[in-house]
């Protein structure tokens, strides 16, 4: 899908360099994927820190990982 975005060029180049992405599109996709993974890890950490509400099943954990 083609989208027009205004992105800070320095930030985009940093992501591209740090991730090893060969294109701007690949850099954006990597950054978005990493953001989603970070949020999922934070959600899991929050649940673990609050043991009384930690009621995840193995299936729930697999869904959080992006599994089926």
Write out the chain's pLDDT in tens, 68 residues: 899 999 999 999 999 999 999 999 999 999 999 999 999 888 888 877 776 666 777 887 788 777 55
Determine the Cα–Cα distance for residues 28 and 25; give it in Å rounded to an integer. Answer: 5
DSSP state string for 33-49: HHHHHHHHHHHHHHHHH
Burial (0-12, 13-18, 19+ Cβ within 10 Å), 66 = exposed
Q: What is the pLDDT of residue 63?
A: 80
Q: What is the pLDDT of residue 8?
A: 97
The answer to whether the pTM exceeds 0.85 is no
Q: What is the pLDDT of residue 34?
A: 95
């Amino acid at each position: 899908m083609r989208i027009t975005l205004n992105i800070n060029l320095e930030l985009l180049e940093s992501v591209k360099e740090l991730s090893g992405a060969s294109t701007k599109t690949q850099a954006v996709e990597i950054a978005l994927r990493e953001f989603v993974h970070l949020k999922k890890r934070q959600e899991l950490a929050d649940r673990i820190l609050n043991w009384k509400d930690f009621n995840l099943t193995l299936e729930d954990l697999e869904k959080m990982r992006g599994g089926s």
